[in-house]
Chains A and B, each alone.
Chain A
Amino acid sequence: MRVHFNTTYDRDIRLFPDTRDAVRYGLLVAVAIALPFLLDDFLIGEATNVLIWAIAGMGLMLLTGHAGQPSLGHAAFLAAGCYAHAILMGRFGLPFAASFVLAGAVAGSVGVLVAIPALRLHGIYLAIATLALSILTEDIIVLAEPWTGGVAGMTAPDISILGMRIDRLGSPDSFYWLCLAVAVLVTLGYRNILRAPLGRALLAVRDSEVSARAMGVSPARTKTVAFGLSCMTTGWAGALMGHFFYTFNHEVFTLVISIQLLLMIVIGGLGSIHGAYYGAVVVAIVPQAINVARDGIAGLFGGGGVAIPGLEIGIFGLILIFFILFEPLGVHGRMVKWRIYFELFPFCRRDMFRRQKSYLRTERMR
């Protein structure tokens, strides 16, 4: 068991609590960089998928997990980033880096525009408003056909950085490294926001707006900034997703993606950066596991592969129900509990993580 004896305030907010943590995360990044040498192209594609989902998840985590504003409309910002990037790069011929940064800025600005009316909404109303946004996205993409290609869709332009061509299909390894670089940068930025006054302000607004206001934090300003940053990150994920899918149209960024994103961070564990990654892994593994299980069952009974439509999303729902009922803190919460159990062994008591029940405070009296 490690005891952190803080002698200065700066020590309390260091990026890594101690050297051991720094070494652990350093090793993780090293393994991630080395991954293309260990895995084949298919698995690298899956790993890239995980990274992109994780970036999108971090975007939503900032808003939902740390600022406490549930959003069922983040597919809209994925779409904003994706289309902005494809248009800036493909039509205006901007270099990848400039177009990528601008795409994030566009998605972030859309987020701020959404945030201004959304500031008056709480909890469930915000969820429904963003849900409507998610539905409107599809129709708006179709209506904006001159820009977005409408139903026919668009093709992601080729990436070339410093003369090196990056292609999702031709060179999956370099695309993986690109996504990894973005993911690491976003994670570092996220971590630093949480250490900064803004991060504390986010938590304060999440836990109690009245108290936050009493402490001199402006909930309106904080929420707007949270929306902007969250949507910017999600927009970047969208831009990468565009390259990952190669072609996309109005049917890619549907409500189901929004819901899946929110379910993902809940399964991963709300309120932790780890949660976004764990959730992304679960989202990527479930369809593959179903495929493997289906093939296994088909092999057992000697029949052909039976495709059951909707099975994937049904199993996803089942996993989610189990998590909400039995482990509301998600995969990350479970990991932390195990770690504490072993660190304190044998002094961990059964009721240590017991949830406190409380009477519901009505949302109608605010």
Chain B
Amino acid sequence: MEILQLIVSGLANGSVYGLIALGFVLIYKATEQVNFAQGDMMMLGAFIALGLGNDSQLGAPFWLACAGAILAMAAIGWTLERAVLRHLFGQPQIAAMMLTIALGFLLRFVAGAIWGHDPLALENPVAGKTLRLGGTVLGLDEVATIAVTVLLTGLLYLFFRRTRLGVAMQASSQNQLAAYCMGIPVRRVHGLIWALAGATAAVAGILFASKGSIDPGTGFLGIKAFAAAVIGGFGSLPGALAGGLIVGLIEPFASRYLATGYAPIVPYAVMLLVLVVRPHGIFAQVHAKKV
């Protein structure tokens, strides 16, 4: 039954990676920019929820704090696009890459200045409780994380399939120029994509902070989410989630069955392997350019 516990905790971690990776892919698909600050946005979202909800801080009810954090991160994502990234429209990818790395530094600095550099835990209703399934004991926080991720994935799926805005986002990600010609306000859509990515990051952050603790350095978790996004394929939303789950599942098993010191290497080794064998991920969407 130990394996079941490993699987559940792996899936729970993997859900968080998958949600961060989802943010990368959302932004990448729509704007061709890779947001290296996604992990830091996740961290900031968690800190905002913590600042609103924890008793030692503002002490708002948990659900209100969550909603506040999600809204705040959506606003921050939208503002970042509006104020900074929009100016890079049409510039080489590396410019946006550097810019988002710098933004990540800045967000980390802001969070460190406000909430300090010690690890803090988010007070929440599921922390420390357990769920008994037959002979196994599962952490309720981990089960809740998986459930929330499944729910969010379903909502996003419906959003992209059924709503006008979701279809517009898909269109502008597939072909900017054609989307312009069809009357889609591409720039505004980009702003909303960033807002959506910010909200997703906030959810990921809240889930992560509910399972353990966060500090400003948690943003580096984004790098693991990178591995997830690459394994799944950078252009594919289901791929990002699947990649996140794969990375999440690899981790506990690697640290359980491999010699110490080798476990942290495994996710990146898998990612490098995927990059070498299938450079655009398992769920690739790439076609050769025809001249």
- The contact of B275 among A129, A139, A318, by CB within 8 Å, is A129
Asked if B276 contacts A117 (CB within 8 A), the reply is: yes
Asked if B94 contacts A123 (CB within 8 A), the reply is: yes
Interface bits B92-125 vs A (CB < 8 Å: 1, else 0): 0111011101111110111011000100000000
Asked if B103 contacts A357 (CB within 8 A), the reply is: no
Q: How far is A185 from B1 in the complex, measured between Cα atoms in Å?
A: 64
Judge whether B182 is part of the interface by a CB distance below 8 angstroms. no
Nearest-CB residue, chain B, relative to A319:
B102
Stretch in B11-19, B129-137, B152-160, B260-268 touching the partner: B260-268
Nearest-CB residue, chain B, relative to A138:
B264
In the complex, chain A residues whose CB is within 8 Å of the CB of B280: 125, 364
Within 8 A of B (CB), among A144-185: none
CB contact under 8 A between A142 and B261, given known A132-B271, A309-B112, A366-B288 = yes
Asked if A357 contacts B276 (CB within 8 A), the reply is: no
Asked if B102 contacts A263 (CB within 8 A), the reply is: yes
- The contact of A266 among B88, B91, B98, B106, by CB within 8 Å, is B98
Judge whether B57 is part of the interface by a CB distance below 8 angstroms. no
Stretch in A15-23, A33-41, A320-328, A340-348 touching the partner: A320-328
Q: How far is A45 from B291 in the complex, measured between Cα atoms in Å?
A: 53
Asked if B216 contacts A320 (CB within 8 A), the reply is: no
CB contact under 8 A between A125 and B117, given known A139-B265, A142-B261, A317-B106 = no
User: Considering residues A127, A128, A263, A320, which has the most beta carbons from chain B within 10 angstroms of its beta carbon?
Assistant: A128
Per DSSP, chain A at the interface is: helix
In the complex, chain A residues whose CB is within 8 Å of the CB of B79: none
In the complex, chain B residues whose CB is within 8 Å of the CB of A365: 286-287, 289
- The contact of A314 among B91, B95, B106, B287, by CB within 8 Å, is B106
Nearest-CB residue, chain A, relative to B93:
A123
- The contact of A366 among B97, B105, B110, B289, by CB within 8 Å, is B289
**What is the interface residue range for chain A against chain B?**
35 or more
CB contact under 8 A between A125 and B275, given known A263-B101, A310-B108, A313-B109 = yes
Asked if B216 contacts A135 (CB within 8 A), the reply is: no
Asked if B32 contacts A120 (CB within 8 A), the reply is: no
Judge whether A363 is part of the interface by a CB distance below 8 angstroms. yes
- The contact of A121 among B97, B227, B275, by CB within 8 Å, is B275
Asked if A132 contacts B272 (CB within 8 A), the reply is: yes
In the complex, chain B residues whose CB is within 8 Å of the CB of A366: 286, 288-289
Q: How far is the CB of A16 from chain B (nearest CB, A)?
A: 30
Judge whether B208 is part of the interface by a CB distance below 8 angstroms. no
CB contact under 8 A between A135 and B223, given known A125-B280, A127-B97 = yes
Judge whether A358 is part of the interface by a CB distance below 8 angstroms. yes
Asked if A121 contacts B234 (CB within 8 A), the reply is: no
- The contact of A317 among B103, B175, B265, B272, by CB within 8 Å, is B103
Asked if A313 contacts B291 (CB within 8 A), the reply is: no
In the complex, chain B residues whose CB is within 8 Å of the CB of A298: none
Judge whether B150 is part of the interface by a CB distance below 8 angstroms. no
In the complex, chain B residues whose CB is within 8 Å of the CB of A259: 101
In the complex, chain A residues whose CB is within 8 Å of the CB of B261: 139, 142-143
Q: How far is the CB of B37 from chain A (nearest CB, A)?
A: 10
Asked if A320 contacts B102 (CB within 8 A), the reply is: yes
In the complex, chain B residues whose CB is within 8 Å of the CB of A188: none
Q: How far is A359 from B176 in the complex, measured between Cα atoms in Å?
A: 8
Q: How far is the CB of A250 from chain B (nearest CB, A)?
A: 11
Judge whether B163 is part of the interface by a CB distance below 8 angstroms. no
Judge whether A6 is part of the interface by a CB distance below 8 angstroms. no
CB contact under 8 A between A321 and B94, given known A125-B275, A310-B112 = no
Nearest-CB residue, chain B, relative to A359:
B177
Interface bits B30-45 vs A (CB < 8 Å: 1, else 0): 0110100000000000
Nearest-CB residue, chain B, relative to A320:
B102
Asked if A70 contacts B94 (CB within 8 A), the reply is: yes
Nearest-CB residue, chain A, relative to B92:
A123
Nearest-CB residue, chain A, relative to B87:
A325
Q: How far is A317 from B101 in the complex, measured between Cα atoms in Å?
A: 8
Asked if A364 contacts B235 (CB within 8 A), the reply is: yes
Judge whether B84 is part of the interface by a CB distance below 8 angstroms. yes
Judge whether A201 is part of the interface by a CB distance below 8 angstroms. no
24 residue pairs of the A-B complex, CB under 8 angstroms, read A70-B94, A120-B276, A125-B230, A127-B94, A128-B230, A128-B275, A132-B226, A133-B272, A136-B268, A136-B269, A139-B261, A139-B265, A143-B261, A255-B223, A317-B103, A317-B109, A324-B99, A325-B87, A328-B95, A357-B89, A359-B90, A359-B176, A364-B235, A366-B288
Binding site for B on A (CB under 8 A): 64, 70, 117, 120-121, 123-125, 127-129, 131-133, 135-136, 139-140, 142-143, 210, 255, 259, 262-263, 266, 308-311, 313-314, 316-318, 320-321, 324-325, 328, 355, 357-360, 362-366
The 7 closest A-B pairs by CB, nearest first: A314-B109, A317-B105, A317-B102, A320-B102, A132-B268, A117-B276, A310-B112
